[in-house]
A and B are shown apart, each in its own frame.
Chain A
């Protein structure tokens, strides 16, 4: 067996495992991976890419909403609700949790609180984006070297994510 490929696969497995351990991704991400197959080999990348563009737009909207003279909290809440939903659907756990905190401040109509939260959400978003982009690159390398991508649920001796 190609030692280079083995090493790549190990690196991929370790990287993926760390994401789960750090709570950046949760079990919903595994669900996405399980929906991917030969007939839909790019499903995860497609959904995640949608999440990136959609979230960037929502984050811009939120910045704008909070910068208004009279903040429309219903509008703000609607946007966060969307972002919370999307992040939950792809397993971006930390982004989702930051959205939950945001909504509390929103309910209290606490603008500074909301703004701080928004910064937090942006940070978490950028983090998960960067991590997933790296993950996809590692996967591409493995596939290009003739290997296949295991789903995280089948990690051999690595840290299993808590499902």
Chain B
């Protein structure tokens, strides 16, 4: 099954109320080198994603959740059955798209029934793809572009955030420098030297809040 060393392992959340279909989709995804978590309902999916059913906006980190072992796992794609009791796949899709923290995760819908109106409604609501069941290995090839697009978007955003953070740190340090200088002048002491570029970066890293750090994919232990 050899994975290329450089290839990241993406994490897919699969939602289906049928036990056989869950086993099948799990195996299909693993064969395509995805990490997989399966749940049997839309509400469990939302719980896993860290969103409560009545939350509209979530100020928490996008798609980061903790499991019992306090690992942080990002969900890169959600694949869900359409027909489920309680919350349908469509309902779940809507809730995800309404959530500011989850809406960028690509969602794929599966259904055993080929109903054109259903398909277009899902696509209009923001689903990336609609798979007819039973899902085949060849269908999964269609997943990768959506995952890649979302991940590269995340990375761009992260880089942007890091750059912003750097700028803010610079400002902060300049201010605190000035303040220090003033204090020292008042106490008639020697001026402390300006920090070098290295310690500025170190200061920035120390100030990164936990929910900003994204784990390197290669460090993540397999979920299942």
Q: Which residues of the other chain, B, contact A43 by a CB distance below 8 angstroms? A: 27
**Contact in complex: B27, A35 (CB < 8 Å):** yes
Chain A residues in 8 Å Cβ range of B145: none
A54: Cβ under 8 A from any B Cβ: yes
Which residues of B are found within 8 Å of A41, using beta-carbon distances? none
Q: How far is the CA of A88 from the CA of B81 in the complex (A)?
A: 15
Q: Mark A80-106, 1 if CB is under 8 A from B, else 0.
A: 011011101110000000000000000
Tell me the dominant secondary structure on chain A's binding face. helix
Cβ–Cβ < 8 Å partners of B218 in chain A: none
Interface window among B40-48, B99-107, B129-137, B190-198: B129-137
**Inter-chain contacts of B31 with A (CB < 8 A):** 35
Contact flags (1/0) for B80-106 with A, using CB distance below 8 Å? 000101000000000000000000000
Number of interface residues of A (CB under 8 A): 23
**Interface residue from A46, A78, A85 paired with B21 (Cβ < 8 Å):** A85
Bound together, the chains give a CA A120 to CA B133 distance in angstroms of 24
Residues of chain B at interface, number, CB under 8 A: 18
Give the Cβ gap from A102 to chain B, nearest Cβ, in Å. 15
* Interface of chain B residues 16 through 59 with chain A (CB within 8 A): 17-21, 23-24, 27-28, 31
Contact of A31 with B20 in the complex, beta carbons under 8 Å: no
Interface residues of A in 110-139 (CB under 8 A from B): none
- Asked if B21 and A89 sit within 8 Å, CB to CB, the answer is yes
Interface string of A129-157 (1 = CB under 8 A from B): 00000000000000000000000000000
- Check A85/B85 contact, CB under 8 A, given A47-B24, A50-B23: no
Q: Please tell me if the beta carbons of A88 and B133 are within 8 angstroms of each other in the complex.
A: yes
- 30 A–B contacts from the bound complex (CB under 8 Å): A31-B134, A31-B136, A31-B137, A32-B24, A34-B137, A35-B24, A35-B27, A35-B31, A35-B137, A39-B1, A47-B20, A47-B23, A50-B20, A51-B20, A54-B19, A78-B85, A81-B83, A82-B17, A82-B18, A85-B18, A85-B20, A85-B21, A86-B18, A86-B20, A86-B21, A89-B18, A89-B24, A89-B133, A89-B134, A90-B20
Residues of A within 8 A of B (CB): 28, 31-32, 34-35, 37, 39-40, 43, 46-47, 50-51, 54, 78, 81-82, 84-86, 88-90
